[in-house]
């Protein structure tokens, strides 16, 4: 009986599950290193660029919290931030000096034994307000999230915050199955990845959603 009451309350509020395809675009960021990077003696200072990433995700949550238009969910995605190039103002890698204002590509750094990929695992708690009732099956929403981000090659978990805007469109008369889109703007506290100290990591995510409400 102790367990039945909370489960009943949860079912009465209603919950949802959502599959996602996320397209992540990272802003260029400043980074520096003085010591070892990926086990290689490295000193560098400059701007780092990462390629866009496409990754699946999932979100599970509760809707109609306290009989309102608020809902909350837990979202997990694992974007792969693949290093593209670094525009360095100065760099010395494994004893080799590089000219100032030089672009070092992924292949060039790989050849020198340096890997600046920053694959991540993100777990966020998101809150949303659904603007229900203005349109029959179309529901715009605003949201915000907070969570932790773990980077490969980094120690510890960094704090991330996000602001979101989007919509969902019910595709069944029962208003349970829906498709949608969400735009997220995320800031993650500057990580140190494989010895490179980075400024705050900022990225935009376009999320395509397929969900079901119970």
In a domain, 8, yes or no: no
In a domain, 9, yes or no: no
The dihedrals phi and psi of 160, each to the nearest 5 degrees, come to -125, 145
In a domain, 205, yes or no: yes
Q: What is the pLDDT of residue 155?
A: 77
Residue with token string 């000096």: 97
Question: pLDDT tens digits, residue range 17-73?
Answer: 999 999 999 998 877 766 566 666 667 677 888 899 999 999 999 999 989 999 999
In a domain, 11, yes or no: no
User: What's the domain range around 54?
Assistant: 18-213
Residue 116: partners with Cβ closer than 8 Å, 6 or more residues away: 37, 38, 48, 83, 86, 106, 109, 193, 194, 196
In a domain, 139, yes or no: yes
**Per the structure block, which two tokens stand in for 119?**
């694959």
The enclosing domain of 80 has a CATH number of 2.40.160.20
In whole angstroms, what is the distance from residue 83 CA to residue 109 CA? 10
Flag whether pLDDT at 161 surpasses 70: yes
Q: What is the pLDDT of residue 28?
A: 86
Residue 40: partners with Cβ closer than 8 Å, 6 or more residues away: 93, 94, 112, 113, 114
**Per the structure block, which two tokens stand in for 201?**
């990591």
User: How many C-beta neighbours within 10 Å does residue 39 have?
Assistant: 12
- Any idea what DSSP says for residue 27? P
In a domain, 165, yes or no: yes
Flag whether pLDDT at 6 surpasses 60: no
**Per the structure block, which two tokens stand in for 154?**
């980094």
In a domain, 4, yes or no: no
Exposure pattern of 105-141 as b/e (b: 16+ CB <10 Å)?
Answer: ebeebeebebbbbbbbebebebbbebeeeeeeeebeb
In a domain, 179, yes or no: yes
User: How many C-beta neighbours within 10 Å does residue 155 have?
Assistant: 9
Contact 162, 156 (CB under 8 A): no
Identify which has the larger pLDDT, 165 or 197.
Answer: 165
Q: What is the pLDDT of residue 4?
A: 46
Average pLDDT on 152-179 reads 93
Label each residue of 163-174 as H, E or C.
Answer: EEEEEEEECCCC
Question: pLDDT tens digits, residue range 96-153?
Answer: 666 566 777 788 777 777 777 888 999 999 999 999 988 889 999 999 999 999 998 7
Number of domains in the chain: 1
Q: What is the pLDDT of residue 37?
A: 63
Residue with token string 């340096």: 114
Average pLDDT on 168-191 reads 94
| Least confident range of 34-43, 88-97, 164-173 | 34-43
In whole angstroms, what is the distance from residue 85 CA to residue 158 CA? 23
Q: Cα–Cα distances in Å, from 60 out to 26, 49, 149?
A: 25, 32, 18
């Amino acid at each position: 009986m102790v367990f039945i009451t909370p489960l009943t309350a949860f079912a009465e509020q209603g919950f949802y599950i959502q599959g996602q395809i996320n397209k992540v675009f990272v802003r260029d960021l400043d980074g520096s290193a003085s010591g070892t990077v990926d086990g290689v003696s490295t000193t560098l200072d400059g701007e780092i660029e990462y390629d866009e990433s496409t990754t699946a995700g999932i979100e599970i949550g509760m809707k109609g919290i306290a009989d309102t238009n608020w809902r909350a969910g837990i979202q997990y995605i694992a974007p792969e931030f693949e290093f593209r190039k670094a525009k360095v103002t100065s760099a010395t890698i494994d004893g080799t000096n590089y000219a100032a204002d030089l672009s070092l590509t992924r292949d060039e750094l790989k050849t020198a034994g340096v890997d600046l990929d920053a694959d991540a695992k993100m777990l966020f708690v998101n809150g949303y307000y659904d603007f229900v009732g203005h349109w029959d099956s179309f529901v715009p929403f605003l949201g915000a999230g907070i969570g932790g981000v773990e980077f490969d090659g980094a120690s510890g978990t960094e704090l991330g915050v996000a602001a979101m805007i989007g919509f969902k469109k019910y595709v069944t008369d029962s208003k349970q199955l829906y498709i949608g889109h969400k735009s997220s703007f995320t800031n993650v506290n500057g990580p140190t990845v494989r010895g490179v100290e980075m400024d705050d990591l900022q990225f935009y995510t376009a999320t395509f959603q397929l969900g079901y409400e119970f």
